[in-house]
Amino acid sequence: MAGSNASARGPAGPRPDGPGPAERAESPYEVLKNAILHGELGPGQPLVEASLAAWCNVSRTPVREALMRLEQDGLVGRTDRGLVVRERSQEEIIDLYETRMILEATAGRVAAERRTDHDIRTLRRYLNRGEDAGAADPRAMVAANQQFHRAVWRASHNESLLDLLERLNLHLARYPETTLQYPGRWAQAWKQHAELIDAIAARDGERAYEVALRHFQEARDIRLALFDEDLTD
C-alpha cells in the first residue's frame, strides 16, 4: 500500500530537498497541503506537530492551526495514533465521483441557462487548446482539461457551485494519476467536451446535464480501474 513507506518521506523522515517554507515565504498550511498533494507526505503518514514545526521553521501554534484547516479540507484524519495523512481508497473514489458527477452535471445545466456569448468563446478557445496539446504531453493535457472544466463552472455564474467544485477538486488532487492517459480516453473526453459546448451554446440544459454526467461516470470507472492497477503493481 501507498502508506507503507510513508515514514521515509517528509518531516517524519529525511527532510525533502529544496528550501524550507520560511525561505519560500509560504505559510505552514500551504507547505503541508502541497506536501500532501505532491506525495511528500504519503497516505497514512503520522503528522507530529513538533516535527512539522521544525521542518517548517515555525513554532507549533501555526502548525496546529494548519493541521486544523487540513482536517477541515479532508486531507488529514484522526486515528488512535493521532493525526495522519488520509488514506486513499476505492470507497473514497466512489464517494468523490458520485458528488462530482452531480455537481459537474448541474454546472453544465446552469451554464446552459446563464451563459454569455463570451463564455462560449472561452469554452471553444480551451477546447482548441486541448486539441493542440495532444496526448503526448500529459501536463499540457491535464492543464487544458482543468481550464476547460473551470470555464464551464464559471459559465454557470453561480459562486456557491464554483466554490463546492473547487473544494471537491482539492480532494481529487490526492489522486494525481490522470485518467486522460487511459487508452482511448483523451479522444473520447475531447469529443464529449465538444458535445457539452454545443449543448450549452444551444441553451439545452438537460442535454448539457446528460453529457457532463456521462463524461464523469466514465472518468470514475477509469479512476477505479487505475486504483486497482496500482494495488496489484
Round to whole Å and give the CA distance between 35 and 26.
Answer: 12
Are 131 and 174 members of one domain? yes
Burial 196-219 (b: 16+ CB within 10 A, else e): bbebbbeebbebbbbbbbebbebb
The count of domains in the chain is 2
Are 77 and 154 members of one domain? no
Are 98 and 66 members of one domain? no
CB 28 within 8 A of CB 66: yes
pLDDT of residue 2: 39
Are 67 and 125 members of one domain? no
Round to whole Å and give the CA distance between 9 and 67.
Answer: 18
Helix, strand or coil, per DSSP, at residue 154: helix
Are 110 and 214 members of one domain? yes
What does DSSP assign to residue 203? T
- Note down pLDDT in tens along the chain; length 233 residues: 434 344 334 554 434 444 444 444 589 999 998 888 777 888 889 999 999 999 999 999 999 999 999 988 888 889 888 899 988 788 888 999 999 999 999 999 999 999 999 999 999 999 998 887 766 677 888 888 999 999 999 999 999 999 999 989 888 877 767 788 888 898 899 999 999 999 999 999 999 999 999 999 999 999 888 877 654 44
Let me know if 26 is exposed, middle or buried by CB neighbors in 10 A (0-12, 13-18, 19+). Answer: middle
What does DSSP assign to residue 167? H
Round to whole Å and give the CA distance between 110 and 152.
Answer: 9
Closest by Cα among 200, 9, 173, 20 to 119 = 200
Round to whole Å and give the CA distance between 48 and 84.
Answer: 9
* DSSP per residue, 19-69: --HHHHT--HHHHHHHHHHTTSS-TT-B--HHHHHHHHTS-HHHHHHHHHH
Round to whole Å and give the CA distance between 175 and 166.
Answer: 15
Are 59 and 164 members of one domain? no
Q: Quote the cell numbers at residue 33.
A: 497541503
Are 110 and 171 members of one domain? yes
pLDDT of residue 21: 47
Q: What residues pair up with 76 in beta bridges, in sequence order?
A: 85
Helix, strand or coil, per DSSP, at residue 78: strand
Are 66 and 137 members of one domain? no
